[in-house]
Amino acid sequence: MTFVNKLSKSFRWLRCSTLCAILFYMFFIGLILHSTSTRLQQQLKEQGSSSSSSSSSSSSVTQADKKVAPNVGRNGAQRWPNSLQELEQQQKHEAKLRSQPVANNLDAGIEYPQHPAEYKPPPQKVQSAAASNASKSPNQPETVILAASNVNEKQILAKAFKRADRNHDGILSIQEMGQYINHRIVEHIDEAIMNNVREFRRVDIGPADGLITWDEYHRFFLREHGMTEADIDEHDEIRHTALNRRAREDMMRDKARWSEAARTDLFTLTIDEYLSFRHPESSVSNLLELVDDLLRQFDQDGDDQLTLEEFSDLNVDDDDDLMRKSLISKTLVERREEFKRIIDKNHDGKADRGKLLNYVNPKTPRYALQEAATLFSLCDENKDELLTLKEMTDHAEIFLQSKMIDTANSFHTEF
């Protein structure tokens, strides 16, 4: 009996422990199911709110589409204009919408079926279609780019021609062109001097000690050409393979010009030397060197002044070519007239350094008139000493590289 009682007690304990374990697991599973159901309800609520917002946005898109395409019928199909006036109104409306920033680019999805008898796409559509067709054929992209470039060049020349034509008679004289070129030169030099301090501070950053090293300028040059700091660190300074041909040529030109501008120290530039380096036509020190060159060439008695005879002496006695003598004689007359009219302003018969400095200054009208005379000699086809817009566009390459259009690069190449 004792064994049976013990066995029954042990079975009773097992039943109780099993029942407790079952209850515990059921309670744990209930908690899991409750949390899962709560999460599902939250997700359903979020989906409901997102669906309502998407329906509202789709309705707003539909309204915007109606604004973009006003000629849409009730069934959603494209309705073609019934009159030429309505077509013009539609095109003006589309052009106005394209000029305004649209957040979702709503008009990008509208398709305009081709209908040559009644409808022509706007000019922007024609350009985009030409660009897409150009990507399919290898020869067309070059033609499209060249055509756009020619149109741009003609617009640039026409704009400059209109500004230079002061009396608005449709033709340019040498004086009109000279005055316009002089205005461009003065504007360029004043802007270069004004911006020199600002650019100097942008370059002088490692460290900002009032002196610019070649490494500082080199990194500035590469940043100006779109390179990141990481690319600059890995850049090959000898070959410059990461730059295009024009940028490599500019870099080589700057490298050669650096040694000429660095007068006090070969490895650094001061703020005035930096102006001479970047804009040699704007630097007073460069102009003084030009004055020294004139004195070395023409000052025969060494008094640091030029007389009329010294300035006009060209040493042609040993030349037996009569044609050359006649040309030089003509140049001699011009040089004497230039000395009297431009250099010797007080008519004392002498030109000191002050007069010569004013003579070589690019801001003087003489510089611009010489440029205008050169352009006329190259482009005035009928030799009537008047220039038309057609004569300019026929010689677009010459004018686009002149001081009349590209003042800065023309000066940098000359100096």
pLDDT above 70 as % of the chain: 65
* Domain-embedded: residue 90: no
Q: Is the pLDDT of residue 75 over 80?
A: no
- The distance in angstroms from the start CA to the end CA of the chain is 127
Average pLDDT over residues 42-48: 67
Burial class of residue 364 in the structure, from the number of CB atoms within 10 Å of its CB (0-12 exposed, 13-18 middle, 19+ buried) = middle
Q: Do residue 239 and residue 349 come from a single domain? A: no
Other Cβ atoms less than 10 A from the Cβ of 367: the count is 20
pLDDT score, position 118 = 38
Q: What's the pLDDT band for 12 if we cut at 50, 70, 90? A: low
**Could you give the CA distance from residue 221 to residue 277 in angstroms, rounded to a whole number?**
13
Asked if pLDDT for residue 160 goes beyond 90, the answer is: yes
Same domain, 180 and 317: yes
331, 273: one domain: no
* Closest listed residue to residue 94, CA positions, set 74, 71, 127: 71
Of the residues 281, 311, 332, the one at which a domain ends: 281
Q: Is the domain of 387 the same as that of 273?
A: no
Q: How confident is the model at residue 331, as a pLDDT?
A: 73
Is there a single domain that holds both residue 289 and residue 234?
no
Query: Domain for residue 359, yes or no?
Result: yes
Q: What is the pLDDT of residue 33?
A: 76
Q: Is residue 114 part of a domain?
A: no
**pLDDT over 90 for what percent of the chain?**
33
Residue of 23 and 280 predicted with greater confidence? 280
- Going by pLDDT thresholds of 50, 70 and 90, the confidence category of residue 252 is confident
What is each CA distance from 70 to 80, 107, 110, 167, in whole angstroms? 10, 12, 12, 48
Q: Examine residue 365 and state whether it is found in any structural domain, yes or no.
A: yes
| Residue ending a domain, choose from 255, 281, 307 | 281
Based on the domain organization, do 293 and 276 belong to the same domain?
no
pLDDT at 181 (0 to 100): 95
Asked whether residue 246 carries a pLDDT value surpassing 80, the answer given is yes
Q: How confident is the model at residue 47 (pLDDT cuts 50, 70, 90)?
A: low
The predicted pLDDT at position 236 comes to 77
* Contact residues for 157 (Cβ-Cβ < 8 A; gap 6+): 389, 392, 393, 396, 399, 400, 405
Greater confidence, 73 or 211?
211
**Tokens at 404, concatenated:** 């009349």
In a domain, 81, yes or no: no
Residues 259 and 291 in one domain: no
Cα three-residue angle 309-284-206, rounded to 5 degrees:
155
What pLDDT band is residue 253 in, cutting at 50, 70 and 90? confident
Is residue 274 a contact partner of residue 195, using CB atoms and an 8 Å limit? no
315 and 180 co-located in one domain: yes
Cα 232 to the center of its chain, rounded Å: 21
Does residue 357 or residue 42 have the better pLDDT? 357
Summarize the confidence of residues 141-170 as an average pLDDT. Answer: 74
Kindly tell me if the per-residue pLDDT of 305 is higher than 80: yes
pLDDT at 56 over 90: no
Closest CA relative to residue 286, chosen from 212, 189, 352: 189
Give the chain's mean pLDDT.
Answer: 74
Confirm whether 372 is domain-assigned: yes
Domain that holds residue 340: 176-184+282-414
- Residue 159 confidence (pLDDT) above 90: yes
Listed residue (408, 323, 402) closest to 157, CA to CA: 402
Report residue 241: phi and psi, to 5°: -70, -20
Give residue 142's pLDDT band: very low, low, confident or very high (50, 70, 90): very low
Q: How many domains is the chain built from?
A: 2
Q: How far apart are CA 140 and CA 130, in angstroms?
A: 9
| CATH number reported for the structural domain that contains residue 202 in this entry | 1.10.238
Residue where a domain terminates, one of 258, 281, 304:
281
Report pLDDT digits (tens) over 357-383.
999 899 989 889 989 999 999 999 899
Q: Are 86 and 119 in contact (CB under 8 A)?
A: no
Residue 46 belongs to a domain: no
pLDDT beyond 90 at 164: yes
Reported in sequence order, the residue ranges of 247-312 that DSSP labels E, i.e. its strands, are 268-269, 306-307
pLDDT (0 to 100) of residue 3? 55
- DSSP, res 280: G
Do 306 and 410 share a structural domain? yes
Tokens in use for 187? 């504007």
**Is the same domain home to 390 and 286?**
yes
Residues 330 and 380 in one domain: yes
Regarding whether 302 and 227 lie in a shared domain, the answer is no
Residue 347 lies in a domain: yes
Number of helices (H), then strands (E), belonging to the chain: the values are: 17, 4
Residue type, 308: L
